[in-house]
Amino acid sequence: MSTSERLIDATRELLWERGYVGTSPKAILERADAGQGSMYHHFKGKPDLALAAIRRTAAEMRTAVAGVLDGPGTPYERIEAYLRRERDVLRGCPVGRLTMDPDIVASEELRAPVEETLGWVRQRIAAIVEEGKEQGHFAPGLDGAEIATAVLATVQGGYVLARACGDPAAFDAGVRGLLSLLAPHNSPSA
């Protein structure tokens, strides 16, 4: 792995663990096992390196989410697969956690890939809900954008609840609750 790749990977991990302020150039260099001047040789500085790391994290998240949402199954099954996909729940979402970092949120440039990625997930889920409505899997009155927002809020909020109590069961309970609300219901026979 090249030095610039090691720097990006180290920064990604540190941003996830410590946030922007807690990610010092010294910590990045130590984690990447890189020499003193290597960061400035490959990047303009910490903001430039952080942007590369955030973009990489966002791209990986999109790839993972697309792999599930574009997979086989009914619209409900694909949303269920997204909600139940393997995650390190107690670490939180590597993209969603960035929204809690005041330095990232304050920077349009650093916030942009976070905002774009979460927006992309919402749009993709909204399209699946609309597809499900057309196929009769979901009630016709559902609003795809609102359901997509609820799905994303359940995931991000589930991370927060699980971290707060130190137990992934809180995340799982939120997922089960949302899925029970979304589950296609058969109308009672007369």
**pLDDT tens-digit map of 164-173:** 999 999 999 9
Q: Write down the residue that tokens 């890939």 correspond to.
A: 113
Q: Is the pLDDT confidence value at 62 over 70?
A: yes
Whole-angstrom Cα distance, residue 115 to residue 98?
10
What count of other Cβ atoms lies within 10 Å of the Cβ of residue 149? 15
pTM: 0.90
Whole-angstrom Cα distance, residue 1 to residue 31?
14
Please give the pLDDT value at position 185: 63
Domains, in order of start, for the chain: 52-182 (1.10.357.10)
Three-state SS string over 100-168 comes to HCHHHHHCHHHHHHHHHHHHHHHHHHHHHHHHHHHCCCCCCCCCHHHHHHHHHHHHHHHHHHHHHHCCC
Q: Is the pLDDT confidence value at 190 over 60?
A: no
